[in-house]
A and B are shown apart, each in its own frame.
Chain A
Amino acid sequence: MKQQIIVSGIGGQGALFLTRVIAQAAVDLDIPVLTSETHGMAQRGGTVISTIKVGDFASPLIRTGQADVGLLLWESNLAVHRPLLKPGGALLVNAETAGEGDRLDASGIARKLGNAVLSNLVLLGRAVQTKVLFCDEQTCVAAIRKLAPERFVEQNLQAFYEGLHR
């Protein structure tokens, strides 16, 4: 089992948390995993990207045209990170408007739950529902339970289910 995933967004959108949840799911499934993340200056609202490589890999970075799955929390990042996706790779985009990829207004859904930042888990729910990720519902739920701060666990799970059942 090998899968290469990108998570793209802007600083403050919870791309890092989403990255950790997916990587934790791999650990719980006993699959080796490597991630890379953006920290520092770009976290102040700039474009950020995480890569997740599940399976037997040595490097955490993804070459152009090699990603199997792209999870975009910020639509305008398509112009920057689209080239990483392989032809036929699965693309999920948080967007209100129509366009490339499988789109849903994750921020809008998350806002109704009380916090637009939860769009990250809404998008994860959708990815699990459309079966583009290596992990299933149970593994993601367990990973969210493990990583979310206790008082936010229920809200986070709710966001995940909103994406899963849409």
Chain B
Amino acid sequence: MKQPEIQLVMGNEAIAGGLLEAGCQVVAAYPGTPSTEILQAVINQRDESDVPLHIEWSVNEKVAFEVALAASYTGKRSAAIMKQVGLNVAADPFMRTAYLGVVGGMVTIVADDPGPHSSQTEQDTRLFCMQARVPVLDPSSPAEAKAMVEPAFALSEKYQRNIVLRPTTRICHSRQSVTVGAVRTIHAPSTFTPDPGRWCATPAFLPGLHTGLNNDLAAIADEPDWQPRLTSGDGSRPRQALVASGIVYAHLLDLLDELDLAGTIDLYQVLMPYPLAPTFIEKLRDGYDRVLVLEETYPVIELQLAHPGGAGKQSGAVPRVGELTPDLVHAVLADFLDLAQPAQSVPAQRGQRPSLCPGCPHRAAFYAIKQTFPEGIFPSDIGCYTLGMNLGAVHTVHCMGACISQGAGFYHAYHLDGGEVPTIVVTIGDSTFFHAGIPALINAVLQQARIIVVILDNGTTAMTGGQPVPHLGVAAGGRPTKAIAIEPLVRAAGVEHLEVCDPYDMSAFTRALKQADRYIRSDDGSVAVVISRRPCVMDPVAKKARRPVTVIVNEECLGCGICVSEFECPAVSLNEELGVAVIDQDRCIGCGVCIDVCPAQAIEIKEQ
């Protein structure tokens, strides 16, 4: 067995280590920043477990949650992992689980993204848990996140309740030296005991279950191990206290240290922001006149405290939007304690915007779509291809799978007015299609929406670093499994016009788009699907297969800048002095698509 050792690990890896050390046997996730590396790390460490594990990349978060849930019904420890908006997808089973409970320890890890850095909202899972009535833990460092995992399972088992661990981006993507210990072996043979009054609970059973939930929440709130931790002040700032949770607590610690204020004021770290113990709430009311509450992203602790002298997001003392950076914590603390305000930080300039990789097949597809339908409406979705915005070929980005239904909604609205409906081209990635696109496609066909759906099939979940997709026939960790092809699914959804095309072949791809447009406008037209198929340039196999060619700009270049403004490959730029386009050979991968984009035939493959 492995000896404990100190390792530098990312927060997500630390949490994965915690899962294995706690003897968690079933782990299911859907990738999403900032949570993705947790399951990846479980996969990487799986050989260290002497009990068999089931690890899966599920097709979506609802499925992941339900798989882990039923595993817990058998008595095994299980975990479901997702990002905060993934919990929206899993909301249905998540909410009911609060009432029905679990058997084996179940921990749901939901990674929040205050800021947000890489998400469509900066919602606070702790508030979600409050409305779902699920206890939630808020770690302040990678090491603490890991240390919370085993006790979270123990708490889950003690009360037979699902427990949420909520790290944030700054925990997930921080590295810290952490003690990595032995993987625990728990022999929990699966024994599911049918209990219809619980697992099938009809409304008649729910008041009883709801009462049980309330009682448990009251008991969990009072659990001694999960009470806020007090670091007492020396009395020099009487009847004032600081209350913080999560990474903001860590920012506060460093700040107090740097300002030489450590130990001068009572400081509470809240480990479990919901449910808070009534005794804690009372203690703060009786013991302090003023309390500063620092938390991300919504005022969850502040709302429960309802302290008459409370300063926080509700009171307006703390910014309500965005990440609570150490700079902001400094300004807020200075206000609260009447210290000198930090020098006004210069408003940070925006850096380089992200862009699809040089050679990304999506760019070629978007360019063709935009050129073919300059007046089109382009609903799109979540993934690298969101960046099709830069090419003007993405008009809406909402949530996983929304683009197809939004495309249908646009169609029905325009269709009501009679007359010409603009061509509606929906773009959706392959992983997103499996996640939430299929019911939407069935519905669009059923409701006779005349739209073009382009499935951008690059054979991977690219945005999050390349997790497998169902049509590859590879499960988590490279395990071979049945491949579920996209085409039969599309046909089974009732789609009668389907074409598969390589987006690098600009003329063929454009032809396919035009044909699809004719079809949706024909008498018996309906939804048309075009599959744009070409592997992601980051795909290791595709990388190997790449031909090393050099693409250059010749003397025909007019300096019109179309390759930059309309196509925006990051490897091409316009040299203002010389008035010509130049290709950055460090970044160009030689895909050659820009050759078709240039109106002056000024881009060519250099003969070696």
Name A residues whose Cβ lies closer than 8 Å to a Cβ of B.
Answer: 10-12, 19-20, 23-24, 27, 32-47, 57-66, 74, 76-77, 79-80, 83, 107, 111, 116
Contact = CB atoms under 8 A, between A and B. Distances in A.
A142 B255 CA distance: 33
A86 B349 CA distance: 18
Given A45-B570, A46-B354, A83-B348, A64 B254 contact: no
Given A42-B118, A45-B352, A80-B350, A59 B177 contact: no
B140 interface: yes
Contact of B118 (A35, A39, A64): A39
24 contacts: A12-B357, A20-B8, A23-B8, A24-B8, A34-B176, A35-B175, A39-B34, A40-B117, A40-B118, A40-B463, A41-B463, A42-B117, A43-B354, A45-B352, A45-B570, A46-B352, A57-B254, A59-B250, A63-B330, A79-B349, A80-B350, A80-B351, A83-B345, A107-B586
Contact of B254 (A43, A59, A65): A59
Contacts of A59: 170, 247, 250-251, 253-254, 326
A133 B170 CA distance: 24
Contact of B357 (A20, A35, A44): A44
B170 A58 contact: no
Contacts of B356: 44
Contacts of A43: 354
Contact of A20 (B175, B250, B255): B175
B173 A61 contact: no
A79 to B, nearest CB: 5
A27 B175 CA distance: 11
Query: Which range contains the number of B residues in contact with the other chain?
Result: 35 or more
Contact of B345 (A23, A34, A64, A74): A64
Contacts of A24: 8
Contacts of A66: 258
B278 interface: no
Interface string B506-531: 00000000000000000000000000
B352 A74 contact: yes
A111 B250 contact: no
Contacts of A42: 117-118, 354
B448 interface: no
A103 B499 CA distance: 53
B14 to A, nearest CB: 12
A144 to B, nearest CB: 14
A35 B13 CA distance: 14
List the 9 closest A-B pairs by CB distance, nearest first: A47-B351, A40-B118, A46-B354, A40-B33, A59-B250, A116-B586, A58-B253, A58-B250, A44-B354
Interface of B: 6-8, 10, 33-34, 117-118, 140-141, 170, 173-177, 247, 249-251, 253-255, 258, 325-327, 330, 342-343, 345-346, 348-357, 384, 386-387, 463-464, 570, 586-587
A88 B384 CA distance: 40
B344 to A, nearest CB: 9
B83 to A, nearest CB: 10
A22 to B, nearest CB: 10
A14 B471 CA distance: 31
A46 B386 CA distance: 14
A39 B586 contact: no
Contacts of A57: 254
Nearest to A59: B250
B326 A83 contact: no
B348 A60 contact: no
Contacts of B587: 12
A11 B354 contact: yes
A79 B350 CA distance: 8
Given A44-B356, A60-B170, 18 more contacts: A10-B352, A20-B8, A24-B8, A27-B6, A37-B174, A39-B33, A40-B464, A41-B118, A42-B118, A45-B357, A46-B355, A58-B141, A59-B170, A61-B325, A63-B255, A66-B258, A76-B351, A83-B348
A135 to B, nearest CB: 14
Nearest to A83: B346
B170 A41 contact: no
Contacts of B463: 40-41
Given A38-B117, A116-B586, A61 B251 contact: yes
A73 to B, nearest CB: 12
B264 to A, nearest CB: 17
A65 B343 contact: yes
B349 A33 contact: no
B177 A58 contact: no
Nearest to A117: B586
A118 B353 CA distance: 23
Nearest to A76: B352
A42 to B, nearest CB: 5
A33 B351 contact: no
A37 B173 contact: yes
B570 A80 contact: no
A61 B170 contact: yes
Contacts of B177: 27, 32-33
A101 B254 CA distance: 28
B343 to A, nearest CB: 7
A133 to B, nearest CB: 17
A39 B173 contact: yes
Contacts of B254: 57-59
B15 to A, nearest CB: 15
